[in-house]
Chains A and B, each alone.
Chain A
């Protein structure tokens, strides 16, 4: 390979994008509207933000500033460096500007809201650097070092939302330790490039309705039949799935053990695990081991992104025993590699097992009769199928109410790459499956806002199916 090979490859690949040309303007307008909506929400909550600014903790020395309480937060400037009072809809709670050469800072701060964003920047020469944030040892994220007058617009930010497990151990009103290091983005190691760090901690309006593009969304309130412990919730029902058993370990414990009676239905397992929260490595140091009934345990990476613990990723297992028999569940947090570090003592861990709801099986592909998206339930209203070789399938979409399209296929008998494209109006979603697979597109969902009646069309845009079934399904809201 030489540079011309590289140029040719990039040009060829770039031309691939032409095959998927869409009108981007509707999507841009949607994003602009969503940003404006956040501003409106912020205006309504300005009093709360200002109050939060009053009682926010303070930082050491003369490097910090708390905005005055009687007006919107002002910019904070020191030695020619400015931390903006507002960034979009975010309002400044606390600002800090370090000295040049101060490549690390550590300070105490008291959160007054559970929806915060850290915006930061750093000036550093000669490398690709970022500021890495940890709060009470919890890796919050990085903010890239960007130079120029528009750095605060373009620079990255990191946020903690109200449902973050972070707040379980660090509740509002309790001081936390914030640590910011300059790291080299290539190696992710702490470096000392003689940088100058500036940062602001901002209150961020939390608007769950902006979370799922177009379709309605909400935070589901806990119900009386939900399993709740220490701020973590396994809801009684999620879509068509019903809670069979759950346990949240006491803080510092990394194993759970419970049992329930089988109904013969497959089991959907949702974990809640924070042991990896302090790691910023892509290789996560901790896994979980889950044994459901007899047999080998199932190993997966420890993950816990929300205190609504049943709403995230899951693993589906066949029922290990017939209906009426007891099923023992044992799960624990374990090092990802033999001899790995011990499980952190502040780990929060739990497991929930659900009976899978009714499914409609089409050529080996399961379609749930009832699903939850954005906190709302949808029921399977219509399913269309077509032989894989036909390469095209269409379904009508309803007017005036939100809906969800599920689309995919069973194995299509394609040895190489196969790509499916779902078109609704001028919007396209693609599914691509690499070679050396069965050529099944699987099943994906696409929530849509209420609008005019239209048609959703699934086409196989790359690959020649020889068998299998194309599937497009319509889910409508459960009233």
Chain B
């Protein structure tokens, strides 16, 4: 299944220099973006597709965003594309192959936690990844997700509660209060 929705606006020509800087950005930052995308999607192929979609959307705005640090912009596209992903079957895309099953962890002792993270609702999982993998602050997370700080706080609390109460986690934990 492709996740490319082709929803872009203001298609403009990107100057040659812009193309070079875009290519350089892709080369330099792809791996970091794929790491985040993999935590969100839990599938290597879909993670790459998500990153490619975000980069393709960013390309059409590159002449405007390349002057600043474009990474926050690309990350915002990535997260919002991911957040709107689960209802994508209505966009009528035609699957090109059987989706691979979700990867499972290498280590048995990590299985439950990884699975529990996978059971979080999509946006709560995004908040967890941004707060505890990317180490973003609440305001930074809110900006990236296009929502309020209060929402980030509440979603973080809900996510951690769900993780703590997940029946697959055999060792109930006392979670710290998030920063």
Contacts and interface: CB of A to CB of B under 8 A. Distances in A.
Contacts of A350: none
Q: How large is the interface on A (under 10, 10 to 19, 20 to 34, 35 or more residues)?
A: 35 or more
Contact of B103 (A127, A143, A417): A417
B9 A152 contact: yes
B18 to A, nearest CB: 13
A186 B158 CA distance: 10
Nearest to A115: B92
B11 A159 contact: no
Interface string A22-49: 1011011001101110110000000000
Given A25-B27, A28-B56, A147-B146, A156 B84 contact: yes
A164 B91 CA distance: 10
Contacts of B90: 139-141, 158-160
Given A3-B178, A14-B36, A157 B91 contact: yes
Contact of A5 (B9, B98, B113): B113
B63 interface: no
Interface in B27-64: 27, 30-31, 34-39, 43-45, 47-49, 51-53, 55-57, 59-61
Contact of A17 (B47, B91, B148): B47
B165 to A, nearest CB: 11
Interface stretch (A294-302, A328-336, A391-399, A426-434): A426-434
Q: Interface centre among B49, B103, B106, B158, by most A CB within 10 Å?
A: B103
B9 A2 contact: no
Contacts of B23: 25
B123 A186 contact: yes
A18 B151 CA distance: 32
Given A13-B38, A28-B56, A434 B104 contact: yes
Interface in B89-148: 89-94, 96-98, 100-106, 110, 113-114, 117, 121, 123-124, 128-129, 132-133, 146-148
Contacts of B117: 6, 9-10
A9 B110 contact: yes
Nearest to A18: B31
A75 to B, nearest CB: 11
A317 to B, nearest CB: 19
A34 to B, nearest CB: 7
A155 B145 CA distance: 11
A419 B103 contact: yes
A27 B164 CA distance: 39
Contact of A417 (B53, B81, B104, B129): B104
A128 to B, nearest CB: 5
B43 to A, nearest CB: 8
Contacts of B169: 1
Nearest to A6: B132
Contact of B39 (A14, A20, A148): A14
Contact of B9 (A17, A126, A153): A153
A235 B55 CA distance: 39
Contacts of A86: 9
B133 A430 contact: no
Given A17-B35, A88-B11, A442-B98, A154 B132 contact: no
Nearest to B92: A161
B6 A35 contact: yes
Given A147-B147, A185-B121, A24 B48 contact: yes
Interface string A101-135: 00000000000000000010000011110000000
Given A14-B39, A87-B7, A185 B98 contact: no
Contact of B5 (A148, A157, A163): A157
- Chain B interface, >50% SS class: helix
Contacts of A128: 123, 147, 151, 155
Contacts of B68: none
B175 A2 contact: yes
Contacts of A125: 148, 150
A479 interface: no
Contact of B92 (A7, A152, A159): A159
A16 B103 contact: yes
Interface stretch (A61-69, A209-217, A241-249, A359-367): A209-217
A444 interface: yes
Nearest to B52: A27
A113 to B, nearest CB: 14
Contact of A217 (B89, B94, B104, B158): B94
A14 B132 contact: no
Contacts of A144: 80, 83-84
Nearest to A152: B9
Contacts of A186: 121, 123-124, 155, 158
B7 A20 contact: no
Contacts of A84: 9
Contacts of A28: 26, 52, 55-56, 59
B8 A9 contact: no
A17 B123 contact: no
A36 B11 contact: yes
26 contacts: A6-B132, A9-B114, A10-B128, A16-B106, A20-B48, A22-B48, A24-B48, A24-B51, A84-B9, A88-B6, A88-B8, A152-B9, A153-B9, A153-B61, A154-B77, A164-B92, A186-B123, A212-B94, A212-B96, A417-B105, A428-B45, A430-B45, A430-B100, A432-B100, A432-B103, A435-B104
Interface of A: 1-3, 5-7, 9-18, 20-22, 24-25, 27-28, 31-32, 34-36, 38-39, 84, 86-90, 119, 125-128, 139-144, 146-148, 150-161, 163-164, 185-186, 210-213, 215, 217, 280, 305, 373-374, 417, 419, 428-435, 442, 444-447, 462
Given A153-B61, A160-B90, 6 more contacts: A10-B132, A13-B105, A24-B55, A143-B84, A150-B76, A215-B96
